[in-house]
Structure formats: structure tokens, C-alpha cells
């Protein structure tokens, strides 16, 4: 009996060795929403699904944003300001913020009043639409526009730098502060991975070339969809 058991175990092991390995997950199939994935940076760029962009039907109002999801009187905008201040502002009634200090990494500028800041979507709303969000539900677009689940999704920066960027992707715009560019491109890849947004050829080339001299560190995200 012991010999038969040993032969059976050996046969099972041999079968496991000869079975074809599971195919790697293709673009857009990294896992279920809520699961965590980690890929080396350059692999994460390659894993982004490819598609041509289309802006047909886009309106900014289709992304309901600056909501107050937790009903604490602080909108998403103010939640980001509170989270990123290195000197905390005073918080008054209905989450009115005064004072405080922030750092805008896009242009290496310090800002001493919340009114001088915009909250930028790392991947702009129009770019998200172009890259797949046009097919999402209104609730998914609202979740994207108010994404506090990943600190890379929204960032406080000077109004000037945000408006210079507008809705451009890395093929046509990079932060003027060159020392921040590796982090910027890495965060762009992380947000696109988190939401499984597509890239076109020019964008992937810009990411590949822009990250060539950056550390190939793991990009870890919790999938939002």
C-alpha cells in the first residue's frame, strides 16, 4: 500500500510538471476590484492595455467631483488639502480652510494659502474619458473623480502648473520641475493601472522613454475596477 501511495504521488507530481503553465493575465485582466497587484515599473507600463483615444461625447460635468462622500462637511478638494499640508490650515465651519502651507512638486513652489492651489487629477478627467472612462457608469466616473483611496490619484499643485498641464498626457506635457518627473510618470502609471485605463502608442512611448533612467521599482496598487 505504501508503494502504491508513493507511485500515485510521483505520478501526480509528474502530471503537474507537464501541464502547461497558466497564461499570464492579459491587459485589463490583472484581477478583481479590491485586489492588490504589484509589478516592476517597466512591466506595469507594458501591461497597460492599448487602444486609440477618443473624446467623443466628453463633458467635464459627466465626472461629478468634489463630493463629500463621508458627510464630514469636507469636500474631496478639502480632504486633499488637509492631507497634503505640511503646515496644517485652520479648519472653520463647513470645512472652510485658512492659512497652512503646501508644496507643489510640479513646479517646486511653496504655497501659503489654499486659494493658490488646484487639486489636479493625476490622469486628467478628459484623458480618463479618452482612455476608457467614456464607457463607464456615472457612479464609476464619480468614484474616479473623487478617488481618495490612492494618494497618487489627486494632488495639490499651483493653479499655474495645473492649468499648464490641462488635459495633456506625458507625450505632450511633463512637470517643469525635472527632479519630480520620475515620480510623476510612476504615479501616472499607477493611476492608469488602478483604473485599468488604456494608453495609445505615443503615450506608451513617452512613458517608456521618460522612465528609462528611473528606478524600476514595484508599482503597487489596489484595483478600483
What is residue 13's predicted lDDT score, i.e. its pLDDT?
39
Estimate to the nearest angstrom the gap between the alpha carbon of 121 and the chain centroid. Answer: 9
Q: So what's the pLDDT on residue 18?
A: 31
Burial class of residue 139, CB neighbours in 10 A (0-12, 13-18, 19+): exposed
The one-digit pLDDT tens for each residue of the chain (225 residues) are 333 334 344 444 333 333 333 333 344 468 899 999 999 999 999 999 999 999 999 999 999 999 999 999 999 999 999 999 999 999 999 999 999 999 999 999 999 999 999 999 999 999 999 999 999 999 999 999 999 999 999 999 999 999 999 999 999 999 999 999 999 999 999 999 999 999 999 999 999 999 999 999 999 999 999
Distance between CA atoms of 133 and 135, rounded to whole angstroms?
5
Q: Which long-range contacts (CB under 8 A, 24 or more apart) does 72-76 make?
A: 76/119, 76/145, 76/146, 76/148, 76/154
Amino acid at each position: 500500500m505504501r508503494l502504491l501511495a508513493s507511485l500515485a504521488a510521483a505520478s501526480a507530481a509528474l502530471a503537474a510538471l507537464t501541464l502547461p503553465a497558466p497564461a499570464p493575465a492579459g491587459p485589463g485582466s490583472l484581477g478583481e476590484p479590491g485586489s492588490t497587484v504589484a509589478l516592476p515599473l517597466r512591466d506595469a507600463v507594458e501591461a497597460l492595455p492599448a487602444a486609440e483615444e477618443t473624446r467623443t461625447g466628453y463633458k467635464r460635468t459627466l465626472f461629478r467631483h468634489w463630493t463629500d462622500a463621508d458627510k464630514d462637511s469636507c469636500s474631496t478638494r478639502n480632504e486633499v488639502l488637509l492631507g497634503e499640508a505640511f503646515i496644517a490650515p485652520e479648519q472653520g465651519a463647513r470645512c472652510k480652510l485658512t492659512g497652512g502651507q503646501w508644496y507643489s512638486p510640479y513646479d517646486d513652489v511653496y504655497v501659503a494659502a489654499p486659494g493658490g492651489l488646484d487639486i489636479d487629477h493625476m490622469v486628467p478627467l478628459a484623458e480618463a474619458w479618452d482612455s476608457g472612462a467614456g464607457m463607464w457608469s456615472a457612479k464609476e466616473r464619480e468614484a474616479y473623480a473623487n478617488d481618495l483611496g490612492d494618494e497618487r490619484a489627486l494632488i495639490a499643485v499651483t493653479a499655474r502648473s495645473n492649468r499648464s498641464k490641462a488635459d495633456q498626457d506625458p507625450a505632450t506635457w511633463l512637470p517643469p520641475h525635472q527632479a519630480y518627473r520620475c515620480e510623476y510618470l510612476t504615479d501616472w502609471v499607477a493611476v492608469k493601472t488602478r483604473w485599468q485605463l488604456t494608453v495609445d502608442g505615443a503615450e506608451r512611448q513617452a512613458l517608456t522613454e521618460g522612465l528609462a533612467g528611473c528606478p524600476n521599482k514595484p508599482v503597487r496598487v489596489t484595483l478600483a475596477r
